[in-house]
Chains A and B, each alone.
Chain A
Amino acid sequence: MTVRKLVRTVPALLLVLLALAGPLLAPHAVDQPVTAPYATPDAVATLGGDQLGRDLLSRLLSGGAPLIATALGIALLVTTAAAALGILAALRPRLGRWLERAADLAILLPAVLGIMLVALAWPGGGRLAVAAAATVLGIPYAVRIVAAAAAPVAATGYVETAAAGGERLWYLMVREVLPNLRATLLALFGLRFVEGVYIVSIAAFLQLGPQPPAADWALMIRENAPGILLNPWAVAAPSLAIGLLAISVNLAVEGIAARPTPESAL
């Protein structure tokens, strides 16, 4: 069974490795024009040119790491914060009600609008501003999921016993409740990663976040969209990369978590 788990993490690991090593493999500089704008693939540029005639393949190889790093950062922060707050909410119901209200409020503010506001209020923020907005806006919903999963755990006899025994709050959180939420948190992390990729991409479409001349898959899609009929790869290649990244990471997370849920033979 563990072998199968490992197998499921292979695509994601390969992709991340490729994204990290990409800049070393790139045949051309990412900011030097080598061909005509939106040139079709030829001997010089294997995947053709982008909107300035820069080598698309080189930019594709270099453009994964920043996007992965941003999405990873968002996913880690949101999951960590949600774990802490969610468990706290389960152990301290009064706080839980306030967090529930905050989540209700955040749901009314569409993420895109929130990101627009944060990124515009912090014009030099670039990628960091988008990441910050995505993190803050993502937390309430994630807290709700963790809190829902933690509530039954908190109500189990051994946690209640530990609480009655005068154990400190952090001890209860870390040692008693957290280990039982492994599957939930991993699934949450995978989902948040995909969401992170999605949000950075949407922000790039709205000209927020990563800035040219940086090579970034999300940015590449937007920059090259006008020339899609001239060199379809300019948009298709980064789109495929983003799609593959999202799928492989989820595959890996599900593999590791090995969801116990469908043990019921429905």
Chain B
Amino acid sequence: MSVTRRQLLWATAGIGTAGALAACGSGSGRSDSEPAPAGSTSEQPRSGGTLKIGALGRASAVTRDPHGSQANESDYLIISLLYDTLAVPGDTANTVPRLAASWQPSPDLKTWRFTIADGAKFHDGTPVTAADVVWSLKRLRATPAGASRLPGIQPSGISAEGARTVVLVSDYANADLPLLTRLTTFVLKKDTKDDAVATASGSGPFKLDWFRDGNARLVRNDDWYGGKVLLDAVEVRIFESPQALANALLAGQIDVASNVGATAARTAGARKDVQVVRRPNDLAMPIVMRAAGGPFADPRVRQALRLAVDREAMVKQVLSGYGTVANDVLGTGDPAYARDLPQRTRDLVRARQLLGAAGFDLARSYDLVTTEDIPGLAESATLFATQVRETGVRINVVKQDSKLFWDASWLKAPLYASYWGTNDSVVFFASKTMVSEAGQNEAGWRDPAFDAAYRKALATADAAERAKVLHQLQEIEYDRSGYLLWGMADGIDLAAAPVRGLPRLPGYGRVQLEKTWLAR
């Protein structure tokens, strides 16, 4: 089952959210992960042991460049254990400090100063300096996708101020700029040659022992500035298929199967010796209805489809129940997410009324384009088509090859099923996919009131005021965007009984293993 995980990672570069400011400058609130469910919380974390962890990846796509395009989860896992980013995703806040201990904005929210953590040094013993960070950020910015990884930041806007401070200047006021520094801003030593990147020193919690064809062994960095690392070593194994990954865990060959899916969780459900780790709000699989033209341009038609879907059934059948019902607003993991909006439920009568009022042509059938990049996506489209037939709308599911889908249908087709493997914020999705000028405006949606709310949110420093604006923004999105978001899939890891302290964060928060330990 060569499921491609292409492009899950790109979505990690983003614009921030409310709540990030609260974490600024505090230096506290490391992304401590909760213990895995089966582990009793009274246990004292203990040091030692080797954790064998399996992650998905394709042998043909293995990359070792932290700033390259990473298609493999296994590569990303290895890289993020070896190298540090300025900030990482957190539990209570969207962004918590890592290599940058703290950050401060200028009053106009355009210039941000990041201070490097005390005692941060590379594996070869040399301290991490602002010059290293600036060089790494510029290298990241110079990659083909650099402009979308660090949006609004020009190469000239990255500079050092002394040995410990890095200055980032944004083209526009951005209250959530630190969010951009999570996940992709890996720091290497200044002037590392491209052909030496594979063996370059990092500053992360683990050091490289060996690497071969996507598999690696990493050993503890006793000198890590971020605190005591518990595991002696981590062995990462690359798996082509989620099925093989789950089987390896069930047969006891690995300790953790990372991001392995709901079916594996149910299979393991009967096993006492396997823990199922659920990470909520991990993956969005919205159905995109083109607002810019075509049969779904009328907001009433889009509303009708949102009322025609049976969300509970979708979560139950497509996700095997491993997920939550959603409310057509993206960014469900965000502390600023509007939980008070009324939950939209199925209303076939109203849906038919709306379709009639809009004069929707029920005589023809409509293509819903999808791809099999991730498990469940094609199935969700299939079930959706079956459900909306009850309103008289005939939908024909067209499953495309991944490449064709991204080239020809994404951003273009009148109706398609997309996905976002990120726990990113309300503002992130607004900036990337909904504001009029967004390069990846998936539905071609243009709404002046929404644009205004978005701009106001980015330029507002006061947290309470911002929360209010963000709520308005979500109300508009809830009312008339091009999205139908029926649910959010849980991220699911399987772990052997002795594994403790696995990360519980959605998306790429799952790779932080420095607090993980083994009770054996």
Contacts and interface: CB of A to CB of B under 8 A. Distances in A.
Contacts, number: 65
Interface in A1-59: 31-33, 36-38, 51-53
Given A212-B378, A226-B261, A123 B400 contact: yes
A123 B320 contact: no
A31 B399 contact: no
B272 to A, nearest CB: 15
B267 A230 contact: yes
A22 B517 CA distance: 55
B242 A123 contact: no
Range class of the B interface residue count: 20 to 34
Nearest to B379: A52
B401 interface: yes
A225 B243 contact: yes
A206 B246 CA distance: 19
A36 B316 contact: yes
Interface residues of A, number: 23
Nearest to B261: A226
A226 B1 contact: yes
A206 B2 CA distance: 7
B318 A52 contact: yes
For the complex, would chain A's binding face be called helix, strand, loop or mixed by DSSP majority? Answer: loop
Contacts of B267: 226-227, 229-230
Given A52-B317, A53-B317, A225 B379 contact: no
B263 A213 contact: no
B372 interface: yes
B416 to A, nearest CB: 15
A33 B2 contact: no
A233 to B, nearest CB: 15
A211 interface: yes
Contact of A38 (B2, B263, B382, B386): B263
B383 A52 contact: yes
A230 B320 CA distance: 12
A213 B378 CA distance: 9
B386 A31 contact: yes
B372 A207 contact: yes
B401 A212 contact: no
Interface of B: 1-2, 242-243, 246, 261, 263-264, 266-267, 313, 316-318, 320, 372, 375, 378-379, 382-383, 385-386, 397-401, 404
Interface of A: 31-33, 36-38, 51-53, 120, 123, 205-207, 211-213, 222, 225-227, 229-230
Given A36-B316, A51-B263, A211-B397, 15 more contacts: A31-B382, A31-B386, A33-B383, A36-B317, A52-B317, A52-B379, A52-B383, A123-B400, A212-B379, A212-B397, A226-B267, A227-B266, A229-B267, A230-B263, A230-B266
Q: What are the 3 tightest A-B residue pairs by CB atom distance, in nearest-first order?
A: A213-B382, A226-B263, A229-B267
12 contacts: A31-B386, A37-B320, A38-B263, A38-B266, A206-B2, A211-B397, A212-B379, A212-B382, A222-B1, A226-B263, A226-B375, A227-B263
